[in-house]
Structure 1
């Protein structure tokens, strides 16, 4: 049975991290001790403990911090190889077992329910960096198909700078609320669209925009957000040999579509195994992962807080 640990607090001399094992093992807070700045969007709800099921809606969970999407992001129906999979995958719904915890590290694990995948993550905070080492193990006797996407919802202020790998010049549009930027599959120039929209600057919280993009294969596994309020950059570092693509979610009060609850104001930079939101679509495009019985897929993602160079701050 999962442990009854509600919160893990990990700390270095520069960062304090809060992990919520019972809430999908999510990283709920990543805060700079130097500036006091919180880098992650906070949940509008009190402690949320979802009941795992195939029909769960991600919007009814915490919808905040750094969560894990496995084996899919978008909900998949029974036509998917391996059967249906829930919205944003299994693991945001599950209580994770705490295998180890001390002042600066924790090891958590959980077993999926739509696929027999065991997901483990080892978090270690040292200095200015939180490093998360992941492993996905196929504990079944037949091969398993999946995609993984990190799902970090980063807090922003209007005008904050969104930084992608330096060689990115265009993105493929996956979704744009009201088709503001076009339709799915359109190629959109980065950082400024053909119509002059500056995608690399965070918009206002009340403009009602929500856009999702994917890169082609990346050569450099680094992206980030410059928070002008403190002059700090939160960098996301990953190995493109393991996570070859990057999803970009820009949400400035444009999700959920209805206005019955608090609208989201966040930017997500999502290292991923596939440039597709749906496992079903990834399978059709031959872009899904396949894991043989007993095999393990390992990768790591690091979150680093550093002071921005003065030259970059001067460009504001």
Structure 2
């Protein structure tokens, strides 16, 4: 079966890969983003789409100025800021990183799509290869190659914006019990760095509990970004070798689950936007190689991934639909 074929989305060249269970569409010119991830058996589209035209305004621009849709790669940081270490200290990293706003080179075989991109301010090559290890699973294998003679610190996080509805359930390893707030609209969960229990946090607005494990209605007020404080794979809940995060719909029985190697991707973040940011209603489960969104903060805390001089850093991310 030829699993990959060239297609077009709103005038952009795209590649669509499919199995009996799922179908995914990637646009290499737009940061190598996935614009569609569907369950073929149920017809469900998992990726959220805004009403903006597909595209962005180019390197160094705000993520919010683009279409804000689908599944992007955030690398080598999430927040805009300066690189904190020599020999690149002070070099600017744009909002959501360097790679989401630029075209990726790509090549295909019948069974794989490979996309790659080089750095602007930094000497790296980021490569990802999509395959289908099973009919219900899309695998993305990542490699960062450091082309320099100095270690390179980075943050990577997947940014798959998901379509959600009230009552859907989030699933994370049992040993993840505490979150740390990166952003909270109206300060509902506290300021940056505030810690809250998972899944029942405390609202500074209502004074009552907030069940973070259940998708809330689109109230137009709340949006949160938070990281779990624990490293995946250290406790019994996530096992010694793999991490996971999932979301399910009790109304239909459908689910989406991410699996990834906890030794290389030891952190997990959640972006839950219930209308409080840009009026959008969406949620993202974000496996990450570091913790919190600013690279300088992650370096100070020792919660960052590092590619050795002339070295490589490899990991993978599986998404399974059921």
Length-normalised TM-score, structure 1: 0.88
Partner of 2:121: 114
1:203 pairs with one of 216, 229, 247: 216
Higher mean C-alpha displacement, 18-27 vs 74-83: 74-83
Does structure 2 retain, via aligned residues, the 8 Å contact 1:23–1:62? no
Partner of 1:309: none
Does structure 1 retain, via aligned residues, the 8 Å contact 2:291–2:304? no
State the SS of the aligned residue for 1:93: coil
Does structure 1 retain, via aligned residues, the 8 Å contact 2:152–2:306? yes
Distance 1:170 1:143, change over 3 A: closer
Q: Which runs of 5+ in 1 are unaligned?
A: 257-262, 307-316
1:72 pairs with one of 71, 77, 87: 77
For 1:23 and 1:231, locate their aligned partners in 2 and report how far apart those are by CA, in whole Å: 33
2:305 pairs with one of 275, 282, 289: 289
**Residue 285 of structure 1: CA displacement?**
1.8
| Deviation by residue 1:277-303 (Cα, 9 ceiling, x = unmatched) | 111111222322222332110000000
State the SS of the aligned residue for 2:209: coil
| Deviation by residue 1:96-123 (Cα, 9 ceiling, x = unmatched) | 1112243x53111111212221111010
Partner of 1:145: 153
2:34 pairs with one of 2, 19, 27: 27
For 2:85 and 2:310, locate their aligned partners in 1 and report how far apart those are by CA, in whole Å: 22
Length-normalised TM-score, structure 2: 0.86
Partner of 2:253: 231
Does structure 2 retain, via aligned residues, the 8 Å contact 1:99–1:106? yes
1:38 pairs with one of 45, 67, 83: 45
**Residue 29 of structure 1: CA displacement?**
0.8
**Residue 80 of structure 1: CA displacement?**
5.9
Distance 1:204 1:101, change over 3 A: farther
State the SS of the aligned residue for 2:297: helix
**Residue 39 of structure 1: CA displacement?**
0.8
Does structure 2 retain, via aligned residues, the 8 Å contact 1:22–1:49? no
1:274 pairs with one of 290, 307, 321: 290
Does structure 1 retain, via aligned residues, the 8 Å contact 2:290–2:303? yes
Does structure 1 retain, via aligned residues, the 8 Å contact 2:83–2:295? no
Does structure 2 retain, via aligned residues, the 8 Å contact 1:21–1:96? yes
1:170 pairs with one of 175, 178, 181: 178
Q: Which runs of 5+ in 2 are unaligned?
A: 1-7, 203-207
Q: How many residues get paired?
A: 294
Does structure 1 retain, via aligned residues, the 8 Å contact 2:117–2:127? yes
For 1:228 and 1:48, locate their aligned partners in 2 and report how far apart those are by CA, in whole Å: 33
For 1:62 and 1:25, locate their aligned partners in 2 and report how far apart those are by CA, in whole Å: 14
**Residue 61 of structure 1: CA displacement?**
2.1
Partner of 1:249: 271
**Residue 78 of structure 1: CA displacement?**
6.3
| Deviation by residue 1:125-157 (Cα, 9 ceiling, x = unmatched) | 230011100001112343322111111111101
